């Protein structure tokens, strides 16, 4: 028996990752079954791959996730602001987003450079 999606790793309500990570869980699990059969070893291999990946996202969102920019703005402009550009630089915004994308596995280079989790089958 194993778990996937919210049952395995309930996410904090930030970062938009609950559904996407559930889909990744399902794809990885399907791939393990495809290559290793429906076996205990396949379940273990799935768990070994997905547990650290999803735990990293939960931990990021508990502390230093993408919403940290909200804390920064509140700290720098406690009385409000007229233009967000006066409070936060574009580079700060981009760096925060880039770090989170890397943790969540959705950075563009990472996605483009890794093979498909379930490669298309060859028509014979
Ligand atoms: C307001 C809100 C906004 C969200 N926004 C995003 C977002 O922008 N991006 C994102 O990636 N994620 C988002 N999420 C998270 C996402 O919806 C969940 O992470 C995702 O749905 C989890 O999928 P799941 O299949 O694990 O669980 P679920 O979608 O909860 O599916 C579980 C299913 O099991 C059924 N079930 C329960 N008990 C039993 C039983 N005993 N027998 C049979 N069936 C049962 C339930 O009815 C349900 O259909 C959001 C969630 C909320 C609430």
Measure the CA–CA gap between 83 and 89, rounded to whole angstroms: 11
Residue-wise pLDDT tens digits, 25-69: 999 999 999 999 999 999 999 999 999 999 999 988 887 678 888
3-state helix, strand, coil in the chain (%, to 5): 65, 0, 35
- C-beta of residue 33 within 8 angstroms of C-beta of residue 42: yes
Measure the CA–CA gap between 71 and 68, rounded to whole angstroms: 5
**Helix, strand, or coil (residue 59):** helix
Predicted confidence (pLDDT) at residue 12 exceeds the cutoff of 90? no
What share of the chain in percent tops pLDDT 90? 59
CATH number belonging to domain 1-63 = 3.50.50.60
Find out whether the beta carbon of 16 lies less than 6 Å from any atom of ligand 1: yes
- C-beta of residue 111 within 8 angstroms of C-beta of residue 101: no
- pLDDT number for residue 5: 97
Measure the CA–CA gap between 27 and 118, rounded to whole angstroms: 7
What mean pLDDT is reported for the chain?
91
- pLDDT number for residue 46: 98
Whose CA is closest to atom 19 on ligand 1?
18
Find out whether the beta carbon of 20 lies less than 6 Å from any atom of ligand 1: yes
Residue-wise pLDDT tens digits, 60-104: 888 767 888 888 999 999 999 999 999 999 999 888 888 888 888
- C-beta of residue 107 within 8 angstroms of C-beta of residue 98: yes
Find out whether the beta carbon of 24 lies less than 6 Å from any atom of ligand 1: no
* Non-local CB neighbours of 34 within 8 Å, separated by 6+ positions: 118
Domain boundaries defined on the chain: 1-63, 65-114
């Amino acid at each position: 028996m194993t778990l996937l999606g919210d049952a395995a790793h309930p996410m904090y309500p930030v970062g938009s990752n609950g559904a996407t990570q559930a889909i990744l869980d399902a794809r990885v699990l399907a791939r393990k079954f495809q290559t290793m059969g429906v076996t205990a070893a396949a379940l273990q291999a799935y768990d070994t791959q997905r547990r650290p990946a999803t735990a990293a996202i939960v931990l990021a969102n508990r502390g230093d996730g993408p919403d940290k920019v909200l804390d920064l703005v509140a700290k720098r402009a406690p009385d409000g602001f007229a233009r967000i550009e006066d409070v936060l630089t574009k580079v700060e915004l981009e760096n925060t987003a880039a770090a989170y994308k890397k943790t969540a596995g959705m950075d563009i280079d990472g996605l483009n450079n890794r093979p498909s989790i379930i490669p298309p089958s060859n028509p014979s």
